[in-house]
Amino acid sequence: MTMAGAAPSQPRHDGEAGFSIVEAIVATMLLAVGVLAVLGSMGAAARTGAAGDHRQEAARLASGELEAVRAVPYAEVGIALTSRGYMARFEGRPTVTATVNRVEATGTATVGDTTYTIRRHVTWAPIQVGSVRNVQGYKMATVMVSWTDASGAHQLRQDTGLYEVAG
């Protein structure tokens, strides 16, 4: 029995075109998995881009710190005993101490929503000429910048040698 004006439904025969509800659900699920994979990749790409930006900023900060140390007259380059974070030795080398604190041992810088911790070291580096070893051959300045972002904790290091210019 059919309603007036409605076409009677006919059973589907094998080989006819169309989708069953199961096929439509499976297709939708596959599409959803694909979309989620693409969104996950986009999130990872954004995190990688942000991590690169943070590393670039840390390199800029470290370079600026080393330039500031290079601007201090050679005789005054060192870390004062009273500087917060002072260490008597770094990597086995003695710290160059200064009476006037021109180079702070530690500091922070905030750029955007990221805080960078800056650690500075000025140590004596030895020079060996033939059989003569001078344990205070030149000064080695090291700047280490560390920060934490969505991808974890990171650290960047830059070093430079400082030499007294004979005048």
What are the tens digits of pLDDT across the range 91-145?
999 999 998 878 899 999 999 999 999 999 999 999 999 999 988 999 999 999 9
Is the overall model pTM greater than 0.85, yes or no?
no
Given this model, what pLDDT does residue 155 score?
A: 97
Q: Phi and psi for 25 in degrees, rounded to 5?
A: -65, -45
Per-domain residue ranges of the chain: 21-162
pLDDT at 19: 73
pLDDT tens sequence across 69-89:
999 999 999 999 999 999 999
Cα distance between residue 123 and residue 97, in whole Å: 9
Q: In angstroms, rounded to a whole number, what is the distance separating the alpha carbons of residues 147 and 130?
A: 43
Q: Give the pair of three-digit tokens for residue 106.
A: 């530690």
Residue 31 has pLDDT above 60, yes or no: yes
27 to each of 8, 14, 30, 40, 164, how far by Cα in Å? 29, 20, 5, 20, 73
CA 15 to CA 19: how far, in whole Å?
11
Q: What confidence score (pLDDT) does residue 50 get?
A: 73
| DSSP codes joined into one string, 83-149 | STT--SEETTEEBPB-SS--S-SEEEEEETTEEEEEEEEEEEEEEEETTEEEEEEEEEEEEEEEEEE
**Residue 111's closest CA among 48, 42, 62, 72?**
62
* Residue 1: band (very low, low, confident or very high) from pLDDT cuts 50, 70, 90: low
Task: Please name the residue that has the structure tokens 């600026």.
Answer: 64
At 35, the pLDDT band (50, 70, 90 cuts) reads confident
pLDDT tens digits, one per residue of 50-62: 788 999 999 999 9
